[in-house]
């Protein structure tokens, strides 16, 4: 319950709407009560038992005085125009009361809409902001489908739970309190009986609610598994079809979906039990009230008249719907609490390391230095005392076998992860002292796997510099050797690249990514396997684009294509997380066994 209550803190922004909702709910309940209490004088006139009120009250300062004033009007109408006209008067009052009751109910719902949608929107925005601010490690350790389930299905569940909670807080208790006051005015003894019996009903409902929350936890987790399987299927559809394992993948999904169906059957059966059970329990209370109240009416010395008892029963019957609504709300809250727990697991994740302490911006860059840096990922040692220095204006390459930690170095520079020990310096200042946004503006990166957003080519390039002009985008396209193929596309720069850029070839996607980096105009450039998995023609274009982007910049190059780094100022050899050798291309060919093996392997691969 505490997780769901945390979401209610978002109501502060909508305080005015909450007050209006409560106000109109109260008015709706008052007019509802008045409309039903009219049955008492109606029956009194009909059966001829209505007591006459000869003199109107002098001052209207209480409910009793209002009641006496109305009874005076009825008595006056009976005396002057007859009982039939009195009945018409009462029916007219009932009609007007129902009109205002429904008008105020609509206004209460009208002001509930911005609360409901606003709270969910605010939560959704908070989750999205959190996903963008937490470390990559926190995302990679979770299944994408499960994260999507928390953002979509769990939020929908919370939306209904919050709605139920707001109804429970703002409407039902007000209605119950107002109606109970009226019942107390009619008969204290019968109302006391009702008040005593309701907690027993609440205890039974509460027990079932606990079981419902346990089932709901299982349902939400199972939906996360289904979303993960669906995401894997969509992401790996080419591999699935190539391996001819569609039936196997489908059978796995079917098993998970069947588990979800079984869990949902159990959950919904318990949830559906709430309404008939609460109605039956309420009926038991009603029968007891009828039995005891009926005997009280039969007693000639009773404090309650027959028409008042009928009015009592009618008003009490109107307590059953809000009581049932409270029950349904309770079940929904229990069910939604499981979803809110999963959402808060995301919201409570810690942001990227030292964000609040990092305030400096990078200015007057002189050098970048790694000093004895250690880093582990999933208990596997990746960097084991890595040390090197890159001076301003230098082109430095890092080579090594797969898994030696090359890409990890790039990730640590961009502060996508935090290292275990050692230190990274920019000039004489620790990297952690700089503002993360400043670091990522300073370092431009072209990654091994090009990623494009499902948008136009123009907008994908524009993301590199949100202050860029149209001419800047066109220039970046030309400098990245993208302009020629863009001109041949149906909509040119307005061509939509599709999901993850799948409407373009791998080489075209990479050139667009390079254009995006070019328009960023970074002082320090990181190239992480920018020509990996490309054909010869694409590699040639990419190399031309890289030569263009490297001009006048400090560069760190990670590559298996050793031909592209022959002219680098220095080549660092990384092996098992340590820099084991360094030098120029020619020097390393003579003195480094690892470099010779890498070059020989590259040569054989390129010949093939």
Residue 9: predicted pLDDT: 75
Per-10-residue mean pLDDT, the chain, length 608: 67 85 85 71 56 62 60 67 72 82 87 82 80 71 71 75 68 77 76 73 62 66 74 65 67 81 76 68 74 71 66 72 67 69 77 60 85 82 86 86 80 82 86 82 81 84 84 85 85 84 82 84 81 62 72 81 77 84 83 79 58
Residue 42: predicted pLDDT: 58
Is 495 contained in some domain? yes
Residue 52: predicted pLDDT: 58
Residue 437: predicted pLDDT: 78
Q: Are residues 283 and 376 in the same domain?
A: no
Bridge partners (DSSP) listed for residue 526:
445, 556
pTM: 0.65
Is 93 contained in some domain? yes
Is 356 contained in some domain? no
Q: Are residues 28 and 66 in the same domain?
A: yes
Instruction: Please tell me the total count of domains within the chain.
Output: 2
Residue 607: predicted pLDDT: 45
The domain that holds 122 is classified in CATH as 1.20.1560.10
Of 290, 313, 347, at which residue does a domain stop?
A: 347
Rounded Cα gap, residues 232 and 235, in angstroms: 5
Note the pLDDT tens digit of each residue in 249-276: 778 778 888 888 888 787 777 666 666 7
Note the pLDDT tens digit of each residue in 546-569: 776 777 788 888 877 777 777 788
Is 602 contained in some domain? yes
Is 600 contained in some domain? yes
Rounded Cα gap, residues 331 and 320, in angstroms: 17
Do 168 and 205 touch, CB atoms closer than 8 A? no
The domain that holds 529 is classified in CATH as 3.40.50.300
Helix-strand-coil percent breakdown of the chain, rounded to 5? 65, 10, 20
| Tokens encoding 418 | 């935090």
Cα distances from 557 to residues 363, 417, 424, in angstroms, run: 22, 19, 18
Do 154 and 224 touch, CB atoms closer than 8 A? no
Q: Are residues 476 and 599 in the same domain?
A: yes
Domain that residue 563 falls in:
367-607
- Beta-carbon-side half-sphere exposure of residue 519 (alpha carbons within 13 Å): 26
Residue 201: predicted pLDDT: 66
Rounded Cα gap, residues 582 and 588, in angstroms: 7
Rounded Cα gap, residues 16 and 241, in angstroms: 56
Rounded Cα gap, residues 248 and 581, in angstroms: 48
Residue 608: predicted pLDDT: 47
Q: Are residues 402 and 465 in the same domain?
A: yes
> Shortest CA distance to 98 belongs to which of 171, 20, 32?
32
Rounded Cα gap, residues 30 and 511, in angstroms: 69
Residue 120: predicted pLDDT: 79
> Shortest CA distance to 593 belongs to which of 460, 401, 465, 395?
401
Strands 395-399 and 421-426, by their bridges, are unpaired
Is 371 contained in some domain? yes
Q: Are residues 330 and 407 in the same domain?
A: no
What is the DSSP track for 402-444?
TTSSHHHHHHHHTTSS--SEEEEEETTEEGGGB-HHHHHHHEE
| Tokens encoding 155 | 């939020």
């Amino acid at each position: 319950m505490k997780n769901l209550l945390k979401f209610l803190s978002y109501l502060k922004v909508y305080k005015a709407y909450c007050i209006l909702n409560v106000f109109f709910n109260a008015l709706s309940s008052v007019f509802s009560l008045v409309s039903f209490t009219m049955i008492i004088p109606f029956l009194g006139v009909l059966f001829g038992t209505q007591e006459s009120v000869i003199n109107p009250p002098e001052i209207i300062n209480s409910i009793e005085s209002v009641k006496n004033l109305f009874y005076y009007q009825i008595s006056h109408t009976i005396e002057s125009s007859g009982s039939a006209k009195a009945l018409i008067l009462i029916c007219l009052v009932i009609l007007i009361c129902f009109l205002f009751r429904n008008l105020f109910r609509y206004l209460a719902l009208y002001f509930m809409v911005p609360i409901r949608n606003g709270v969910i929107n605010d939560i959704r925005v908070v989750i999205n902001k959190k996903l963008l601010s937490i470390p990559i490690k926190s995302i990679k350790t979770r299944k994408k489908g499960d994260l999507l389930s928390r953002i979509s299905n769990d939020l929908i569940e919370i939306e209904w739970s919050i709605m139920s909670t707001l109804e429970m807080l703002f409407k039902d208790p007000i209605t119950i309190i107002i109606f109970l006051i009226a019942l107390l005015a009619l008969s204290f003894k019968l109302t006391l009986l009702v008040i005593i019996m309701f907690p027993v009903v609440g205890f039974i409902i509460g027990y079932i609610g606990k079981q419902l929350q346990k089932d709901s936890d299982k349902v939400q987790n199972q939906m996360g598994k289904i979303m993960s399987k669906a995401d894997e299927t969509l992401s790996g559809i080419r591999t699935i079809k190539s391996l001819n394992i569609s039936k196997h993948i489908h059978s796995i999904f079917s098993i998970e979906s069947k588990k979800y169906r079984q869990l949902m059957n159990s959950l919904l059966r318990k949830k559906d039990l709430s309404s008939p059970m609460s109605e039956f329990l309420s009926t038991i209370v009603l029968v007891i009230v009828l039995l005891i109240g009926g005997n009280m009416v039969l007693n000639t010395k009773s404090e309650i008249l027959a028409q008042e008892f009928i009015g009592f029963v009618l008003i009490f019957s109107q307590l059953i719907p809000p009581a049932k609504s409270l029950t349904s709300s309770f079940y929904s809250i229990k069910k939604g609490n499981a979803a809110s727990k999963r959402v808060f697991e995301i919201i409570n994740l810690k942001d990227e390391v030292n964000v609040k302490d990092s305030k400096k911006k990078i200015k007057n860059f002189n050098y970048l230095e790694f000093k004895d840096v250690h880093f582990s990922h999933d208990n596997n040692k990746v960097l084991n005392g890595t040390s090197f220095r890159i001076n301003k204006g230098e082109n430095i390459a890092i080579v090594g076998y797969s898994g030696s930690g090359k890409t990890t170095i790039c990730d640590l520079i961009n502060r996508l992860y935090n290292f275990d020990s050692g230190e990274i310096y920019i000039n004489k200042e620790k990297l952690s002292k700089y503002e993360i946004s400043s670091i990522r503006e300073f370092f431009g990166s072209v990654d091994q796997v090009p990623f494009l957003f499902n948008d136009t080519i123009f907008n994908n390039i524009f993301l590199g510099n949100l202050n860029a002009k149209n001419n800047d985008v066109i220039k970046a396209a030309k400098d990245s050797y993208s302009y020629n193929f863009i001109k041949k596309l149906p909509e040119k720069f307005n061509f939509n690249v599709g999901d993850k850029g799948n409407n373009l070839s791998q080489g075209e996607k990479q050139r667009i990514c390079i254009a995006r980096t070019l328009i960023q105009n970074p002082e320090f450039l990181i190239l992480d396997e920018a020509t990996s998995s490309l054909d010869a023609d694409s590699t040639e274009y990419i190399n031309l684009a890289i030569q263009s982007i490297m001009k006048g910049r400090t560069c760190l190059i990670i590559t298996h294509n050793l031909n592209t780094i022959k002219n680098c100022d220095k080549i660092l050899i990384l092996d098992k997380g340590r820099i084991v050798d360094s030098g120029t291309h020619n020097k390393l060919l003579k003195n480094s066994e690892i470099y010779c093996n890498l070059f020989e392997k590259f040569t054989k691969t390129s010949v093939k």
